[in-house]
Amino acid sequence: MRFITVSLVFLFSLPCLPSAAGEAVALRAEKEVTVSKSPIKLTLRLHKTKLKRIPFLGSKEFRVAEPLHYQLTLQNIGTGSVPADEGFRNPGNMRTSFNRIGTLLEIVGPDGSAPPPQLGEHVPPGCAGNFVTAEDRRAAEKDIAAWKREGLSENQITRRLIDRKLATPEEHDDVVILHAGESITTVPWAYQRASEACRGKPEPEPKGQFAEMYGYVVSKPGKYRIRAVYDIRLTKEERAEYAKRKIPIEPWRTRAETPWIEFSVSP
């Protein structure tokens, strides 16, 4: 994985996007945990800790009636700069324990191991295109030029375009740089199937300020645990790239883990 600042790419076909439904309604978090370890502070919040499972489409399979919803905040409490994964901007790409490094969410299931990964949905043939018109793209390009003249940073421009559903960080340019004192919080987000997006079905509303958990299949009854992990290990090449660009990331290796939050799935 390459750790570089975020770049912009216009959307054409994505199965899951941050909602652009305006300001999220503030909801209470049942649990909140925090870890502070220089140079970062990491806070994880869960909307609910008791989930109920129901039959899936009349089959013998089960799913949770309402998925797990979380909010994650990363703050730079150091004096240098720190990288933050693109999952904050697009929770559909939030890293899990299967990714091992980065900013990620770890879940341990009733059997003591991680639940199975949630596989991405196949994009139906003919789905590509038509999500952003040529007029939208031209308007966005004019706005970008104006924002640059106003002195907005690349991160601020990215946030404005994402709010309009006109841009998202590329998968291989998946890091935002937080300078001293800056913080970033996951955007409100709800998963939408690619087939539904292709048919023009409206995006589902997020659960207030929370993002829907995506990446794990949580359906077996029992007790689970979840925590947030910040694990950055920059290679010699990555360090040289940052030094060349005069981005003072310190230290080069950082790992911090929030305490576990327990949640359950009822039969």
Q: Kindly report, residue by residue over 172-187, the tens digit of the pLDDT.
A: 345 788 999 999 999 9
Q: How far apart are CA 167 and CA 136, in angstroms?
A: 11
Mapped onto helix, strand or coil, the DSSP state of residue 149 is: helix
DSSP state of 86: G
Q: Is the pLDDT of residue 21 over 70?
A: no
Question: What is the chain's mean pLDDT, rounded?
Answer: 78
Q: How far apart are CA 103 and CA 84, in angstroms?
A: 7
Q: How far apart are CA 196 and CA 6, in angstroms?
A: 28
Q: Is the pTM of this model over 0.75?
A: no
DSSP per residue over 154-192, as a string?
A: HHHHHHHHHHTTS-EE-TTS-EEEEPTT-EEEPPPB---
- The answer to whether the beta carbons of residues 82 and 75 sit under 8 Å apart is no
- Residue 172, pLDDT score: 34
- Residue 157, pLDDT score: 66
Q: Is the pLDDT of residue 135 over 80?
A: no
Q: Is the pLDDT of residue 62 over 60?
A: yes
- The answer to whether the beta carbons of residues 234 and 242 sit under 8 Å apart is yes
CB neighbourhood size of 79 (10 A): 12
Q: How far apart are CA 103 and CA 72, in angstroms?
A: 10
- Residue 100, pLDDT score: 66
To the nearest whole percent, how much of the chain has pLDDT over 90? 36
Domain spans, the chain: 8-266
Which candidate, 131, 211, 190, 205, places its Cα nearest to that of 164? 131
- Please list the helix, strand and coil fractions of the chain in percent, rounded to the nearest 5, in that order: 20, 30, 50
Identity of residue 73: T
Give the pLDDT mean for 190-207: 78
- Residue 195, pLDDT score: 67
To the nearest whole percent, how much of the chain has pLDDT over 70? 71
Beta partners for residue 75, in sequence order: 41, 183
Cα distance between the two ends of the chain = 39
Q: Which residue has the higher pLDDT, 65 or 159?
A: 65
For tokens 């639940």, name the residue.
115
Q: Is the pLDDT of residue 228 over 90?
A: yes
Given its phi and psi angles, is residue 173 left (phi above 0), alpha (psi -120 to 50 degrees) or beta? beta
Identity of residue 103: T
- Residue 235, pLDDT score: 81
Q: Which residue has the higher pLDDT, 112 or 243?
A: 112
- Residue 191, pLDDT score: 86
Give the pLDDT mean for 97-106: 82
- Please write the tens of the pLDDT for every residue from 104-130: 999 999 999 988 887 655 555 555 444
Lowest mean pLDDT across 204-208, 218-222, 242-246: 242-246
